[in-house]
Amino acid sequence: MPELLIEDRGPVRVLTMNRPEKRNALNNALTEALVEGLRAADAADAVNAIVLTGAGPAFSAGADLSEFKDLTAENQPLVERRAQLTMSLHELFSRLTKPVITAINGPALGGGAGLALAGDLALMAESAQLGYPEVKHGIVAAIVMPNLVRQVGRKAAFELLATGRPVGARRALELGMVNRVVPDAELQVEALALAGELAAISRPAMAMTKAHFYQVTELAFGEALALGRDANKRMRAFRK
């Protein structure tokens, strides 16, 4: 079975992680499929928005621990390849021109939590949880940490990282980790509806909005205003 299911719902492409027997744990094959799937969706003319979710009861349990046995000092090339692949996946979201909605259908832990927060928007099922348990396994949530710290307050982020305790959907909403909490049975419908709303927006306007948003978050106020001035001038080229 393919690690990633791909389905188009009109202008919305749905990417479904498809390792339900492993709680959609991120092995190399699934991670590579996600990178390729996201890039392909961004390049597809008929696609204007993307929904990412998981098959079965979990969104993603994070890194596939069964592959960790090979990630040792003696296999440094494998260690470096895995780290680079994981980084490539997480940095890709902000570089896509099309909006990505994560539909968090169940537990999202470690790298899975990082993936859930990597989307531009996140919808979370009432029964789902988010957590960063890496510290309990004697490792660090290093690659997913930058995105978490940028989205929640420092104290809350450190508590999540240092204790490894998961939080429920309502607490995740309070912390600003997700946009909405919806009943489990309505998650897919809500995600598709929101994606359809975004897909109806002018593609150049959406692409510039997204690019500008991620640039602004990293700039000083004055630099952000200057960037906005330049974007304002460019917008005249695609206004209807």
User: Where is 163: in which H helix or E strand?
Assistant: helix 154-163
Using CA atoms, how far residue 228 sits from 15, 205, 231, in Å, is 33, 14, 5
Nearest to 173 by CA among 109, 121, 98: 121
| 3-state SS assignment for residue 158 | helix
Catalytic residues: 134
Instruction: Report yes or no: 86 and 145 within 8 Å, Cβ to Cβ.
Output: no
Angle at 40 between CA 89 and CA 193, to 5 degrees: 90
CA distance 179 to 173: 6
CA distance 115 to 50: 14
Extended strands (E) in the chain: 4-9, 12-17, 49-54, 100-104, 108-109, 121-125, 129-131, 167-168, 180-182
